[in-house]
Amino acid sequence: MKITLLQQDIVWGDPKANCQRASEAIDKNPGSDIYVLPEMFSTGFSTEPEGIADEKGYSLNWMTEKAQQTGAAICGSVAAEEFGRFYNRFYFVRPNGVETVYDKHHLFTYGGEDRHFTAGKHRVVFGYAGKLFLPQICYDLRFPCYSRNHKEYDVAIYVASWPSVRQHAWDTLLRARAIENQCYVIGVNRVGDDPTCHYNGGSCVIDPWGETVVACEYGKEDAVTAEIDIEKLHEFRKKFPVLNDQDGR
């Protein structure tokens, strides 16, 4: 399975421009099975979603059309409105139009995200092309119990708008999540600036041994592709069955 990470700068509050840039980046990196975009890739991360949330479904419609066009799954998070509530919502859209949804559980209270968004109530694990995935969003990365792998998934996907002032934490925690859960970890972070923060990227794929498989260049728009070897992962788990000895739920 080939997975492409799209480390992008984001035009503030402009879904049309950002979807166009994402489309161009995908077209320049053809042939993958999955394309992963950052957190709130179509608007930039805002704790005040009124006026920029994807209430008309523009971003989701683009994801659906692009998935059908490329024959690949497209994923990332957007600010979504539903029945008067706002969610930081991760979409995984398949080529056949079927979507998996995960709403961010750990809202970033330090930045006020909890004052405007509703926290998701359910952890999600889903299957695609014979692999099992755990989707997570940014701040979720800091909570290891929430991502604890009870032999449920093979790959964890973290999409983020993680500021450069906390870059070391991002780099370290991605590696920790891969090692402790004996899984591949995909982390996709944005670059550039928004009204409050600077972002340096650090998008990468980490294998179950904690080694970097591929990584985007820090501080610039970039795209990299990794091949995920699930058979190798399962062989490792059999030889070194750490997950059998974990603490209970």
- Residue whose pair of structure tokens reads 């995909």 in the numeric block: 186
| 33, two tokens | 């099975």
Q: Which of 19, 75, 138, 216 is catalytic?
A: 138
Q: Evaluate whether 53 touches 81 at the Cβ level (below 8 Å).
A: yes
Q: Which of 19, 39, 66, 204 is catalytic?
A: 39
| Annotation says 138 is catalytic | yes
Gap between the Cα atoms of 199 and 152, Å rounded: 32
| Annotation says 104 is catalytic | yes
Q: In terms of Cα–Cα distance, which of 126, 128, 57 is closest to 136? A: 126
| 229, two tokens | 């070897």
Name the 3-class secondary structure at 117.
Answer: strand
Gap between the Cα atoms of 71 and 35, Å rounded: 11
| Annotation says 183 is catalytic | no
- Give CA separation, 115 vs 83, 143, 155, in Å: 17, 20, 31
Cβ count within 10 A of residue 198: 12
Q: Which of 19, 66, 75, 104 is catalytic?
A: 104
Catalytic annotation, residues: 39, 104, 138
